[in-house]
Chain A
């Protein structure tokens, strides 16, 4: 993968040559090696790759939750050295706290960071994501799709510049998944943040990522990268370009195993 040395004014995120090795007892496993890419403001990217290729590790490192062994992650040209309000991370199983109500979950980040959030802002986000009237419920009282939307609302209340989504719609039925994808696109358009989504679903990657990164299954970094300008546009899912992109990503993924 190319090393990115430029720092364009429109550039939001730069991941430069990051590597990560995990040590368990005497065994060492390099899950990521030499990953480099950048993402512009308002841009979107999807990451696909075989299981265990380090997609989640990559997101966690971008979020500043674990440090890379080598390389740097920069946001707005500044190297990241820990979690920041500008980057929101939504884990695979939503990361909601079962012992807190929907409202408490949504406001936790704001409370921890002493950020005042207006009721109008909360109501407008709830309305946009279709989760009104659930404030006093607990996560276990919600469906998978509703939990996902609450997790999304919690992240967006902090007005991040970059949203990291780890297989956000994996455990959701096909129709709800499609509806949530459109909701994500609408909110992204309205709020104007960038996002990186990790997914196993090729169609989802092509629908949601204006750039698609295919990761190598042997920890060798990025196996292929696709530009996908039509992502998120109306009618894209039914177009020939969409099908061709899906086929190209599928072939890249097969080669990356």
Chain B
């Protein structure tokens, strides 16, 4: 890893902390505690089992939701992108389904899947599904006939086409969608946990807010941010490893 890959994020975090400290000093209000106080509280919370209980519950929901979205959206995107007929048949559903804000289905999802983990996972998957499906389908659609002819002339079968052409063509788009989807997934997680949960960082944050414990609110914000950053970096590292040709 080159040095700038470490120093630039460190400097960025230090600049944010400095600006935060200055703003906290200027406003001098309990609504914006100083970064040092938040950091000390974060370390304190990390030593408690209950905090990890919240963190693990949220991590499981977001990971399961994104995995479910990936498992549904990628195969469907690959199939519809490589079949003009199926793509045409499914187009009305996609055009109707994509622009609808899926968050409005929350009451229905809670009624169908209950107040447990499943409803939260389903909602995250439903919202992330289109964010992965559309770029996957479009990446496959963009395959030039010349590439298909090249594979066929080498003796490639339909399965070889999916394995050696469709999948590698779609991969960079899938990783981009996953990275973008991470932010959305964290936002949905917070929203759904703040409404219908007894565990999770979303619940922890809203509960702290209700108790006017603003230092804990910031601890919750940092925990959600860390969750998003870790997922984002995981997808980034995976892409660099799997799509090596992109970085040469």
Contact = CB atoms under 8 A, between A and B. Distances in A.
Given A93-B146, A95-B147, A97-B168, A138 B160 contact: no
Given A97-B164, A99-B168, A65 B149 contact: yes
A97 B147 contact: yes
A91 B152 contact: no
A91 B146 contact: yes
B146 A92 contact: yes
A89 B169 CA distance: 22
B153 interface: yes
A83 to B, nearest CB: 5
Given A92-B146, A97-B164, A98-B245, A113 B153 contact: no
Interface in B203-223: none
B153 A83 contact: yes
B99 interface: no
Contacts of B168: 97, 99
A60 B149 contact: yes
A113 B146 CA distance: 20
A227 interface: no
Contacts of B146: 91-93, 95
Given A95-B147, A112-B160, A138 B248 contact: yes
Contacts of A85: 155
Judged by DSSP, the binding face of B is helix
Judged by DSSP, the binding face of A is loop
A87 to B, nearest CB: 7
B149 A99 contact: no
Contacts of A20: none
Contacts of A63: 149, 153
Residue among B160, B165, B171, B248 having the largest count of chain A Cβ atoms under 10 Å: B248
A141 B155 CA distance: 26
B149 A141 contact: no
Given A97-B165, A138-B248, A140-B248, A83 B155 contact: yes
Contacts of B160: 112
A88 interface: yes
A21 to B, nearest CB: 17
Contact of B156 (A89, A100, A112): A112
Interface in A33-49: none
Given A98-B245, A138-B248, A108 B164 contact: yes
Residue among B149, B165, B243, B248 having the largest count of chain A Cβ atoms under 10 Å: B149
A144 interface: no
Interface residues of B, number: 22
Contacts of A98: 245
Contacts of B248: 137-138, 140-141
A164 to B, nearest CB: 8
Contact of A138 (B147, B149, B150, B245): B245
Contact of A65 (B144, B152, B165, B169): B152
Given A91-B150, A93-B146, A109 B245 contact: no
Interface in B119-173: 144, 146-147, 149-157, 160, 164-165, 168-169, 171
Interface in A70-127: 83, 85, 87-89, 91-93, 95-100, 108-109, 112-113
Interface string A46-67: 0000000000000010010100
A149 interface: no
Contact of A91 (B149, B155, B157, B245): B149
Interface of B: 144, 146-147, 149-157, 160, 164-165, 168-169, 171, 243-245, 248
Interface of A: 60, 63, 65, 83, 85, 87-89, 91-93, 95-100, 108-109, 112-113, 137-138, 140-141, 154, 158
Which 7 A-B pairs give the minimum distances between C-beta atoms?
Answer: A95-B150, A109-B154, A89-B153, A99-B168, A113-B155, A91-B146, A112-B155
24 contacts: A63-B149, A65-B149, A65-B152, A83-B153, A89-B150, A91-B149, A91-B150, A92-B146, A93-B144, A93-B146, A95-B146, A95-B147, A95-B149, A97-B151, A99-B169, A108-B154, A108-B164, A112-B156, A112-B157, A113-B154, A113-B155, A140-B248, A154-B154, A158-B154
